[in-house]
Structure 1
């Protein structure tokens, strides 16, 4: 090149370049005007996977498209490919004219036989044939022919994780586990043509395996994710060798098996080789292995097989079902014996196995043991068994029987199947006995009233009773004033005491085959009570008088039914106009309606069934002058802990109903009650009221009052006074504590400080009070006064009290 530059003059080089550019322009012009066919896509070789669809478009590139004719496609056998027939099924290959004078080759599903050279041909200007070829090369894409996405090897066995793949050209396969490549350098994993071999599968081999296929020639890469879950063969872990069921009762047994997945359980009766789930009276739960029999029959006896099955395998195990026959007591007779003699009761029963027999007294849970009883050597239990026949006999023997041995006895027959019960009676005969009547009081009569003397003889067999009067049989005396009703074991003697001679002793004699007994009874004449021993006043008011009364020294056999009093003003000498009052012996002896400052005369008497006794214990007592009412008594039950003051606990946190009894008015009617209630605290054992926080209420014509708007968990001292025209009574006082309310748990430092200083915990709620309300209620008006000043003073006073108290506590701690 350098030599050329040296040989040519500089102007010649310029000319050469100009000529070269001119030639290029001529070539381009020539090509632009030459008609050709172009195939899209433009690659001369088209690689497509089998089974896919494709389109090849042939487009003429000519100066005048109107001169193009016979545009068509030829297949790999040089046959013209026709267009799609109208109204017919779509062929695998056809042509279709596209807008812009292009012809498309449509292949709906490419097969390997369709590979080869395809030509697009046309004529131009009826003089030039245009041809353009394209090569279609087919290949088989990666296809999973046998690669399930979930596979289940069995524990302890070799297993091939299947991954069969088809491709052309042949693919290369590698494996990943949980995202990491699997090393096949050890003997655990072996890559095979059809999958990955895992030797001696364990649960640790579970995971996500990836089968990866690659075709180097086509660059295709495809992954198959396979979840490997290790299955475990069933193992029957719980099935007794022998089972026992009770005839006529329900039965259940479990065949428990483990495995993965959970095995399905079935029961097979060996004698018939039938699944019992289809039999009457049987039910089987295949998940739990529970078999139930609604009512066991003796025919259910035999051998059964439990089958446990899952996808990993099947196992079975046999068991034998023994049917137990419940005991049946077929003989137990009532027996009779005599006192001090031997008596025996026998019980016979059947069952399999032969039942054990024992006895117990009716109503007792304690059973007799075989042989002689430790606590009573007189009693012996004898038993006998016949296992071959399934029969048992039990005999309870009692030597030297006593009356206490008489009664019901329960025979119990027991085996593994169940218990059977039957009750028999042992009768112990004995001579008549009157010991139960020895403490009975005498019989009383008066004013010739008929009296009933009853005689009841205990004895087996029943005794015959005869009555005696003055040493002779009454039935032989033919006395119309003596009438016998019944001859045993109970007999009544009706006595009509028309004269005093009938008030005397009577005898009844009872007799049976074992002996006789007699009992003496007394008929006495009753009288009215004697004088009252004492009656003295214990409490005086202007209008009432309470007495303590002590009855007569002797009651003459009949109880006192009432005490009576007659009273009149002492200035009145006539007792016929006196007032009368009676009380039962167990009631308070209160005389009411007296006049104040008046002297009265009193006399007392006692009453029984006969009548009223003589008046006695005459005395005179004066009532005091009119005065304020007596102290009312609250009707509440306080609770006292140790030496603390008794406290009435309200069941509510914000209200309390105060109730009281009406006191004596002392000569003037009570017109109202005054109630005062104040919150307070205890400091060093001394009750301190917060006076500024007190409420005072007056009520009339009621004996109750509901206190409202109270603080929760707070102590209140309540004073109650009754009022009449004279004045107020002395106050009745109680301490009441409200319960803790929902909002009281949030009490802040004030309540906490009070409590920690040893005060009553209820005071802690008082710091929430902002106003003090004093309410006075009468029959006609209600006045409510609210004072901010009083509230402020109350808070200051409370704060001062708390401060002083805390200082005192701190000082005592320092000392």
Structure 2
């Protein structure tokens, strides 16, 4: 460096130099401290040699500051500078005391300008000036202040009312001004696509007629392209809906003063959920003693409604969007109430008397009057104008002119309006002289007491005296006359001893107003004339006699009718029947089929028996047959696996239908379901629990006393099983665990009972069998086997489950053919009804039977059908076939009555050949146990046959069809002493066998 060169380092680039006199020494850029020392050396050398220039550099050379940010600038001076100053864009020197701009000097050659929290006013050219004596240098830096994207106002959420023009606020500032983009549900909103949207000049989003569907999140996005700057805000838009309100009832009616409450209700909707309040007469109602509101205020209950509560009530629904009101009218009605009435007293033949009644109520009640069965309203009420009703407002009066004693009594005043009525009794007392009423003629005969009644109406009460030929009764010598007095009736009892006691008797009644007399006549009674037989309606073993009562009753009531009948040329048989009101029919029972009879009648009163009518001839009908098959119809139950099987009754074969037998099975199955028995009154059966979408066969058989009809068969197919189960109406959760467990327990118990019942009927074992053996005395399985081995009995395959008959001493009537059908089948009713006993069987048939041991049991044997495939009827019936002769089994006498001595040689009864059977159809044998006759069983029957009767075919024991007349059957049993010794009960083992007496027993 000894070349005498002056080296000046360039302040912009330390690697560049200016050669003056001295060799150039380069300084690496990373050695700034060494450079500064060399520079100082330079300035020292320069100042030593000569006066050199000052240089100034500002770092950074230019500056961009975001509003609100802070930044500093470094001013470096090359050379010896005494002062370093900073000047603002306005040319003013920046002092150290300025609040947001400060200047600091760290050493001799540097000065720092710091701008805190810059704003747009701080922008401009700042100058750094360095001075040394008369030398100075300066450098400038341009400071640019820009605004970053700033959201001044973008509140969230922003709420609007539905239908309004919504101005969604999003105020954004930046420099340069930003570009605003709006997005909703991820899509950019454009006015071209939806005219309801518009982006305003200020960047706001305008939605015309905003809807509830416009609710949601909106994205306000700001962009500055020059800087690539972007920012956004999510704004939640809420659309409030003005409340809508609807009253459940615009008018509510209530009744006052009865403790009733009135419910006023309105339903409000809107967003947000509106609050509901009620007001009456501009006063807001709150829950208290008088009013109560539910939780949401939609229901207002007015307690103990009174008339003052009537009026309009306002239901107010309010939310942020506004409020709506609805009026509900409360109409309060008042029940009628009779507030005034008066009772009256008058004398007969007074000009008039007036009853008054006053009532209150809302609506104003109308007042009516009632006397007995007559009703009086406003205006004239009788042709003679003796009854007049006048009403004004709430008052009504009833005026009676020309008062009669019949006007006395209780009058009912009734006030009524649309919501109720009120009644009040008023009494009119009429004073009048005695009035004698009653029948003036009485009939009797010598020795029979007769009562002559003298009914007296009087006010005040009258005294009554009886006279005969001017002499007051009773006299000292009249021991056959007695008098009994009551407040209104005087009874003269006469027991005629001779013809002189018949004739006229006088009754005289007297009170303070007047007196009245009346003659009564006692006439001697006669026997009645003969009744007239109109028609005889015959049946196989009975006949219904229709007759007219005698023209002359003889003055006294008829007590009995005597009916006599006979075979032509034979002796008359007779029976007496107690006379009843409107009696026009009498039924004769115990007749022979296809037999001619004569019949005649006579009437009996207290005087005696009258003449007999002319005899009429009739012929009984033949024995009826089996019924005709019923007509079937199947109705499927909708959405169910059940079916209703209906049938229509056809010809009953001359004998009433006893019951119907029903069986069914699935077509693909070979076994039929167990047979079901229904009474004759039934016309349908419900089949439940069927398999879905399955073909079924069902057959129905009608049964009467002669047998069973051919089975009626029909087929049907059940519906398909539903694929879904509909929800319950209330959306409940269904059965709880406890309910399900309970159901399972019940089903399990039912299965146990079913198994036990099956074991009882099939194998004679199980719990029921134990109860039957130990409690009811039923023979066990061992006893049954023993009886079979001894040949005493056998059972059919299916029908052994029901007893043949159980005969008790209970009184039973013979059923009519149609009107009085057989009793409803029960456990003791046989499947096939027996033929009735021959009409002329002797009454002492039981006494002629050999005695039976106390523990003996009568069983009958029948062979079941073997070929069930040829005829479907075999599936229904296992009835025994007819035997060639009648068999009489021993009876079990369970009573304490004396035993009947055994007959030395019991007679053998021969049956009449039964009607021909058809193939496999069940027959009706005469094999049965003969029950006690009518004299022992208390049956109301007339036995019209001889004692040498054989076992006759089963005959119809029914009577004629019903009509308006009454039917009476004979009752020989009441007069027979054998009733006391009749057996209490006769039981036979279960079997399907007919009975001999033709009377269906009751369990």
Larger RCO, structure (CA 8 Å, separation 6 or more)? 2
The structure where strand makes up a greater share of residues is 1
TM-score where L is the length of structure 2: 0.41
TM-score where L is the length of structure 1: 0.49
